[in-house]
Each structure stands twice: as C-alpha cells, then as structure tokens.
Structure 1
Amino acid sequence: MDIIFNALFGVVVPFLFVIMVVVFFHELGHFWVARRCGVRVETFSIGFGHTLYSWMDSKGTSWKICLWPLGGYVKFYGDEDAASSPDNEKLKELTEDDQKDVFHFKPLWQRSAVVAAGPIANFVLAILIYACLFTFVGKQISLPIVDTIRENSAAERAGFIPGDLILSIDGSPVESFNDVARTVSVNPDRDLVFVVERSGMEVELVARPELVEDVDNFGNRYRLGRLGITSRPDQTRVSKVYYDPITAIGKGVSETTFIITQTFRSLGGIISGRESADALGGPVKIAQISGQMASLGWVAVFNWIALISVSIGLINLFPIPMLDGGHLLFYSYEAVIGKPMPEKVQEYGMRAGLAFVIMLFVFVTWNDVSKISLFN
C-alpha cells in the first residue's frame, strides 16, 4: 500500500502536473494565434484517448482532458485528424463563407504563425518562469574564486592557481561559481577559454574538462565534464540577488538560450559519436525526475517545468513530419516553389514522421526502464 501511495503522490501526480502545464501552454500558443487569425477551433485537448472531462466555450470550441496526458492537440475546422491533416473531401464541399474560418485556406504567413506559436509559447513559458524566480525568489551568487585545484586535473594542466577569479568562459560573462560548474558540466572533452583575474591582471587559460560519471543525491548517474576546482562556500562570498522584472526577463532569455545551445551541442555529440545515446530520456525519466524535484520543493519543480518546456518546444521545431517543424518544412517548400507540396509526398512524409516518432519514443522509454527504477 505504501508503495502505491508513494508512486501516486511521489511520481505520478508531479509528472502529470509538469506535463499538463507544458502541454497546455504549447497548445495555448497554437490556439491563441489561430483565434487571432480568424481560424475556427473545434477542439482543444490535453492528452489523447478517452475523454475524462470536457466543456464547450462560447465560440464552439470543445475543451477536453483525456486519459493519456503524454501530449495534446488543437483541431481546427477542416482538419481530418489531430495532426492537422486536411480533410480534402470536406474542404471541397465548403462554401466561400465557410472557407474564411478554415486554417488550410489562410495565407501562408498565418498558417506558419499558427504552427510556430506552439513551440514559441514553450520558450515564453520558460522565460516567464525564470523571470518570476529571479524576481521573487532571487538568485544565489557565489563569487567564482578558485580555492583548491585537484592534482592532475584539467584545471592544473590549464594553469589555474588558487585565488583566480573567473571572469568569463568562451566569451560569456560569469556571475557565480554555479555558472562555472554548469558550463563545465555540459562541455566534457571540449576546449573552453577561461579569462581569470590574477593579481589585478586578466589571464587567458584554455582547459578541457574531463568526462566523468557522477551520481546525484537520488542515485541518478550522469556523464559530465569536470574541471577539478573548488570554491570555499564562505559567507563573505555568497549573496542572494533579486532582479527587477525587466532584468529578470533578460536573465530568463539567457537561461533559455543556454538550454537551447547545450541541447544542440549534446545532440551534435550524439550524432558524431562523441556522446552516448543512452543520455536520451523519455517519459519514464521525466516522471522519475518530476517526483524528485517535487521532494525538493516548488522552486525545483518550476525550474524543471522550464527545462522541459524548452525541450518540448525545441523538439517540436525539428523538421520531422507530424511535428510542428515538419509543417513548417512543408510551408517553406510552398514559399519557395509557390505552391503546396504534393499531397502524396505530404502523406508519405507524415507516415514516415509518425514511424520515426514512435521508434524514438520506444527507444527513449527502453533507455529509461533499463537504467532506473521508478520507485527508488
């Protein structure tokens, strides 16, 4: 009984909260822009499958919460399915007045805006979360001063010495020692250019963090970069900074950009073979970490939501049919050629995209269940 209770409130509930927030904002992006473009929206669904709860708004949109919450969709008038494939037979029967409300008859720029609005909404959600945290919770700043250097480490080989104040990494300013740790951890086996202040002078050092395996407090194993330096947590060096809303939004944009950049870098490493595909995670891993973040408090949960939101937005922009990026790929063809891509090509593309998404889902789920226990 305790196992069931812990699974429900320690894993399932946090996971559903995280996923539903991220999915809701993604679909809300599509919905909001579609309404602004005069598109009739038939369905706004969180999840797939059997409808658990639904209601109709004043403009005829059915809002639904469904059994399987791993996604969602907005279905427009004239769509054949949740992937916004056109119902060609129905479209041929529409009058000219009816066509004004149909997504597929809208100008190319409006269709592109509606499709892109979902991923953009995910990025906006992350920026707003970070901005609110920086404004109301604040950010702990620990001066990036080097105190100790591990023997035979990357830092020792690069020429770091105790007392160095790290100013920037690869041209990006460093505000806190946490910034150093985060940048180093996601850049193993890659040369990083550090600018440090030493005896009143700026010195440039090049270090290549070593790839190591680490274990966090929850027993999760991670492969990350290690420089081999530590900083003393002295109270004279640690402070909490609160940012005004405008500055906080700028910080939120920087955090979101950092996640996007590091995601592309990691994917590049996987494609080139420098990093293992085992690092890819799916719904089981998201569920596990959601439960772990919930045990740390609401700040950790919202940080996790921001990270997942950026990831979902980015994945949806990949040029894979079935995803938003696939639709934008078709629209790019239409913009260049001057007419839509042939229906058969789109149909086969959608099938191939669906097969790829299913295979990826199976792969990352297998990755998850082969490495972790949901209830540890």
Structure 2
Amino acid sequence: MLNLLGQVFVYVAPFLLVLTVIVTIHELGHFLVARAFGVKVDRFSIGFGRSLVSHTDKHGIEWRLGWLPLGGYVKFSGDLDSSAVPDQAGLETLRQDIVAEHGPGAERDYFYFKPIWQRALIVAAGPAANFILAITIFTLLFSALGVSVVPARVAEVFPDSAAARAGFQVDDRVIKVGGREITDFRDVGQSVALSAGSPLDFVVLRGGREVNLTATPVRTVRDDPISGPVRVGYLGLGWNPQPGEVAYIRYPPHRALVQAVRQTGDVLGTTLTYLGRIATGKESGDLLSGPLGIAKAAGGVTKQAAAATSDLGLQIANVSLMLIQFAAIVSIGIGFLNLLPIPVLDGGHLLFYGYEAVARRPVPANVQEVGYRVGLALLVGLMLFATWNDLQKLSLFKFLGGLAS
C-alpha cells in the first residue's frame, strides 16, 4: 500500500502539477485577450466537474477549481456550447435574447458579436500563451543557469554499424547534418533518431579539412530512462566528451530570449518532421504519447532528478528544475495540438473564422455539426492510439499475461 502511494506521488502528482500550470496559462491567454476586448466572461475554471472552491468577483466572473484536474475552460457569456460557433440564424436568436434582457447595444459585449479578427486573436491567445510560457522558461534557464555545449566529436565507431559503413572515424567532429549546422552532439542524436531508413548527409572535420559522408540510420529499440522503450534511428557512433570540451554558456537576457525562441522553434520543427514522416509512412507513430505517457515521463524526470543527489534540499531543487524544463516541452506540445485544424480545438475555430471572413457569414450549422463529429472522432482516435502506445511502453499487456498464466 505504501509503495502504491509512493508511485502515485512520483508519477501522478508531478503530472497533475505540470498539467495544471500549463492549462492555467493556456486559459489565461484566452481570458486576458477576451477581457482586453471587453468580452463578458461568466466563468474561469481549472478542472472539470463539481466545484471544490469558487469565488465570484466584482465583474460577475466565477473563478472555480473543479474536482477533476485534467483541463480547464473559460465560459463566455451567452456561450451555450463552447465547442460550436453559432450560424447566422443562431446569432440572430442570441442577439434578440440579449437585447430583450439587457437592452439595445448590449450584444457588443458578447464574444460572438465581436469582429472576426478579435475573436481569432482570443482563440489563438491560448496556444500563444503556451508558446510564451515555454519561451519564458527557456529564457530564464539560459540566462540564470546557462546551458552546456559539447562539440560533436566522435569517440567510437561501432563495428558493422551504419556509421562504420559510411566511413566515420574516431575524432571526426560533426559540423553539419542534413545541411544544418551542429554545435552540440545532442543535435546529431536528435537528427539521427528521426531519420530511420532515410539517408542523412553529414559534414565532418577530419584533420583540419571538411569531409562529406552519407549514412542511413537503422531502426532500433532503445530503452529511454524517462519515456520507456522507443523505436528510433541508430547510427552507431559513441560520444565521450572530455572535461575540457564541455563549455557552459550563460546568455545575457536578450540573447537568452533569442535562444529560447530558437529552442521553441526546434521543438516545433521536430514535431512537424515526425508527423510528416508518419504521413509518408516512414514512422509508425509509436513515439506519440497520451496522458499516461506524459505521466510516466513526469515520473521519470522526477526520479532521475532526485537520484542525482542524496541531499534533500538539492533533490527538491533538482526535481523543481527538471519539472520546469519538462513543463516547457509539454507546453509547446499542447500549444501545437490546439492549433491543429480540427473542430473542437482552437485550430478548428480559427478554420471556421477563416471561412466566415471570406464568405461574410458563419459556417452553416449542419456543416459545423458534421465537422465537430468528424473532429471529435479524429481527436478520440488520436488519443486512443497514443494511449495504446503508452500501454505498450508500460508493458501492461505482458504484466496482465503474466498474471493470467
């Protein structure tokens, strides 16, 4: 029983903490931009279900904490269905109801009667807030703590590997991969991991001159200490940086901001690359994770950070630092997910607003209904697929099979 409680604390508590912070920032993005445009808001809720704690401020906004901490929402006044955009007939009915209750002109304070550009900015503000959160975290980390930079010098070339067949040699220093300049050996690993079965062009420094090499990473299963077993590209290079090769750089605030934006862009670029490879059949999608995978990763980060030292104070500091970095990565993922052009997500709303801007009228109700059903099916399917991946990585089926045997 105590062990179970310990596992819950290690895996579930960090996950809920990170998720709550990210969701709060996301919803604050919607809320703050909406209030800046004078939109009336009924409720700001973190968590779903019955209210645990609530407070209504002088503006009539209910601030609520729900008992199920797996999301949140902002409810605009007059918003009967947060997943839909009223069509022309629905807007007229809503307008009449508002005017009848509050008088002529009152509808101008309601979300659906704001100009399209304002509604689009309000919707986009949620994902934007996620990206801003990540950039802010990275900026603070790069300026306060700095970042380690390790040249990509090859310490070992494993026999019969893709690297050996391509002609890599010990002490080669990788300076470009796929035309992209490399400053850290971890950048090489990231490029290789997402290129299984696809030729990669390398430029290495060897004896003071540049040498061009082409290697095709092979797919292999790697047991990642944080995310569990994953299938990634493998080249067959060993890295063993010497103490004198490791440089620690603390950036001044303005340069830290530039690096933070670049880091956020790199994460988004990696995500798009992986999705593109899934679409072209080059990846199976087994790296996609759902809530279980994120919870496992949060627990892995927590355990790894705590194991780095036996001092309780340093353990707390390490765990806090690692979870902050983890929150930045997850925040980028949630921001990106919400921008997908799928009805029920922010990107779907923006898609509808794009139609409205061109056609000068909202999307017809019957089209919206079909769109939301298809979008919900796609989203549920994606979540089920990601959850299946998570269960396989957790080896749950092997565990259940062992119980049954």
The alignment's TM-score, normalised by the length of structure 1, stands at 0.93
Q: Which residue type is aligned with residue 320 of structure 1?
A: I
* 1:218 CA drift (Å): 5.5
Match of 1:195 in 2: 203
Deviations 1:8-27 (A, max 9, x none): 31112101111011111111
Q: Whole-Å Cα distance in 1 between the matches of residues 385 and 217 of structure 2? A: 29
Matched to 2:382, the amino acid is L
Aligned to 2:367: 345
- Tell me, in whole angstroms, the C-alpha distance in 1 between the residues paired with 2:295 and 2:15: 5
Deviation by residue 1:130-182 (Cα, 9 ceiling, x = unmatched): 11111112211222111221122222222222222222222322222122222
Give secondary structure in 1 for the equivalent of 2:153: coil
Instruction: Give the gaps of 5 or more residues in structure 2.
Output: 306-318, 400-405
Does structure 1 residue 278 correspond to structure 2 residue 316? no
Deviation of 1:313 after TM superposition, in Å, equals 0.8
From 269, 275, 279, give the equivalent of 2:277: 269
Superposition deviation, residue 300 in structure 1: 2.0
- 1:181 is the counterpart of 2:185: no
Q: Is the 8 A contact 1:39 1:76 kept in 2?
A: yes
Q: Secondary structure at the match of 1:100?
A: helix
Q: Measure how far apart 1:322 and its partner are.
A: 0.4
- Conservation of the 8 A alpha-carbon contact between 1:76 and 1:84: no
> Which residue of 344, 354, 358 corresponds with 1:322?
344
In the alignment, the residues of structure 2 paired with residue 71 and residue 314 of structure 1 have an alpha-carbon distance, to the nearest angstrom, of: 16
Question: Does the alignment pair 1:305 with 2:309?
Answer: no
Match of 1:212? Answer: 220
Q: How well do the aligned residues superpose, as a CA RMSD in angstroms?
A: 2.1
Aligned equivalents of 1:193, 1:367: Cα separation in 2: 31
Structure 1 distance, partners of 2:148, 2:16, is 29
Q: Report SS of the residue matched to 2:109.
A: coil
Q: Which amino acid aligns with 1:365?
A: T
SS at match of 1:147: strand
The whole-number CA distance in structure 2 between the counterparts of 1:144 and 1:278 is: 28
Residues 342-368 of structure 1, C-alpha deviations (whole Å, 9 max, x = no match): 122113322332233233333322332
TM-score (norm 2): 0.87
Displacement of 1:69 in angstroms is: 2.1
The SS at the match of 2:98 is coil
Cα deviations by residue, 1:53-93 (Å, 9 ceiling, x for unpaired): 22223322212121222221111111013336447544331
Q: Distance in 2 between matches of 1:34 and 1:341?
A: 22
Bigger drift between 330-339 and 307-316 goes to 330-339
Q: Is the contact made by 2:120 and 2:353 (CA closer than 8 Å) also made in structure 1?
A: yes
1:92 is matched with 96
Instruction: Give unpaired runs (5+ residues) of structure 1.
Output: none
Secondary structure at 1:43 match in 2? strand
Partner of 1:367: 389
2:232 alignment partner, SS class: strand
Which residue in the other structure is 1:156 paired with? 164
Give the share of equivalent positions with the same residue, in percent.
42
Measure how far apart 1:316 and its partner are. Answer: 0.7
Contact kept? 1:209, 1:227, Cα under 8 Å? yes
2:105 is paired with a residue of what secondary structure?
helix
Shift of 1:219: 7.9
Partner of 1:172: 180
Number of equivalences? 375
Q: Secondary structure at the match of 1:261?
A: helix
